[in-house]
Amino acid sequence: MSNKVLWSGRFSGAPDEGTLAFTSSLSVDSVLAWYDAVGSVAHAKMLVEQKIIPRADGDKIIAGLKDIIAQIEEDSFDFNETLEDVHSNIEFDLTEHIGEAGGRLHTARSRNDQVATDFRMFMRDVVMDSAESLLVLQGALIAKARLNVDTVMPGFTHVQHAQPVSFGFHLMAHVFKLQRDVDRLLDSYKRLNVSPLGSAALAGSTYPIDRQMTARMLGFDGPTHNAMDSVSDRDFALEYSFCAALIMDHLSAMSEELVLWSSQEFGFVEIADAYSTGSSIMPQKKNPDVAELIRGRTASTTGNLMTMLMLLKGLPLSYNRDLQEDKGTVIASYETVTACLSMMAPMIATLSVNKERMLAATSQGFLNATDLADYLVTKGVPFRQAHEIVGKVVRHCIDQNKRIDDLSVAELKKFSAKIGKEVKGFISVQSCMNRRTSYGGTSPASVNSQIEVAEEVANGQVEFCDAERDRMVKVWNDLLRP
């Protein structure tokens, strides 16, 4: 390993190779290369505009950086593994190509504000990307829900049959959770999208830098307000870690249902062959491994969130090398979220729904017991009394091994004289479901309005993402291709 570092002057001895290997972050931060070089273009332009470095040197720096950016874009930039990080790689490469002028680039900045800037730029793309992947899954769920607003199935609490709901209603419950996930990501964007560049090591700069200018050139809403905060803040990465962990909690819950529902015991759904796997010994097997792995990988995103929380705990201001550990965990969460969303969306889109099995399941577990009580309420019985009466009906049914629907009107009358023959239609599972017309309820009309609301919200989210993507294209064009 070479001992080429950005800070050799003060040292009389060369760093131990083990130390260099131990402290290197290149394996993780090389993903920041494009952002690093682009951030440097903005910094160099500002240094020229503010007459901090000569224009001729600035021009050389910018031309050299643009070469590097082109190489990074075509994946041909030659990373030197012996250099300690992505920042050293780009600066040494630049100086190698343009000579001494390259040595002026680092005027009025530090790797501390540089890495914070790079990471925020990178995280903007990560946040956008995760939001867009979530929107694709939402689309698949909404499409499936639309086809199933009339599909009756048991609704559960405690995994016990509770009340009849539609499969579409159940799917829409997941949609709204994912919509909040998108909302959270997009909300974090405004805290993320500020520029630490120019905070320098921790205390700001003695040069007449223009932080508003670099912030604008890099598409940030503005500069951060305190240099010391800027080089030590990783809230934005922690927020993403939380968003990722929660997205995975949501996907894990969905996966758990897919696993249960595709079992022989339920048989509510069948996962497409394309998203299932077999057994090496049992020829008959078709296993929901993709869903299980999504559920399993939730462990790591939760772990990564804990890692970020612990990493930031008790750090004295300002920059500490501990902060270097942030990127690996956040990137790991991002990769997991991306991979899991990319599997869940087509798995939902291709899921077959066994409506007969769902309907058959509604005959078990007294799903219409609440509705029989509600029926008595329509006859003037106070709900608490109605609840007691129906409890006795259910007890009777359990003893007789019958369903409520099996009892004749005459038998039902023994529990309450108020029961009339129209009770039969009232307590059919279909009518139990259809009558839940309250806002947010499971009736087909309510679910259709939920779909409308969700689509309107999703359209707004898509518009935000598209506008932001377009804005960034323009930002990069203005900066790099004037």
**Site string (333-372) toward ligand ARG, x via CB under 6 A:** ----------------------------------------
Q: Which listed residue (321, 384, 425, 481) binds ligand ARG by CB under 6 A?
A: 321
CB–CB of 32/86 below 8 Å? yes
- 308 sits near ligand ARG (criterion: CB under 6 A): no
With CA atoms as reference, report the closest residue to 248 among 328, 179, 330, 181.
181
Quick one: 87 or 216, whose CB is closer to ligand ARG? Answer: 87
Residue 214 token pair: 């670099």
Quick one: 86 or 269, whose CB is closer to ligand ARG? Answer: 86
Least CB distance from residue 22 to ligand ARG, whole Å?
12
Least CB distance from residue 332 to ligand ARG, whole Å?
15
- 230 sits near ligand ARG (criterion: CB under 6 A): no
- 319 sits near ligand ARG (criterion: CB under 6 A): yes
Least CB distance from residue 120 to ligand ARG, whole Å?
13
3-state secondary structure at position 81? coil
- 85 sits near ligand ARG (criterion: CB under 6 A): yes
- 324 sits near ligand ARG (criterion: CB under 6 A): yes
- 10 sits near ligand ARG (criterion: CB under 6 A): no
- Active site includes 158? yes
Rounded to whole angstroms, what are the CA distances from 89 to 77, 94, 214? 10, 8, 22
- 88 sits near ligand ARG (criterion: CB under 6 A): no
Residue 177's CB: how many other CB atoms inside 10 A?
17
Bridge partners, 195 (sequence order): 223
3-state secondary structure 322-352: HHHHHHHHHHHHHHHHHHHHHHHHHHHHCCE
Q: Which listed residue (94, 115, 178, 291) binds ligand ARG by CB under 6 A?
A: 115
Bridge partners, 269 (sequence order): 353
Q: One of 158, 280, 408, 438 is an active-site residue; which one?
A: 158
Geometric angle at alpha carbon 413, from 408 and 418, rounded to 5°: 130
Bridge partners, 157 (sequence order): 160
Quick one: 190 or 321, whose CB is closer to ligand ARG? Answer: 321
3-state secondary structure at position 269? strand
- 111 sits near ligand ARG (criterion: CB under 6 A): yes
Quick one: 202 or 260, whose CB is closer to ligand ARG? Answer: 202
- # residues contacting ligand ARG (CB under 6 A): 10
CB–CB of 37/194 below 8 Å? no
Residue 469 token pair: 């993507």
Q: What is the dihedral of CA 32, 38, 42, 48, to 10 degrees?
A: 110
- 118 sits near ligand ARG (criterion: CB under 6 A): no
Residue 26's CB: how many other CB atoms inside 10 A?
18
- 481 sits near ligand ARG (criterion: CB under 6 A): no
Catalytic sites, residue numbers: 158, 279
- Residues in the site for ligand ARG, rule: CB under 6 A? 25, 29, 85, 111-112, 115, 319, 321, 323-324
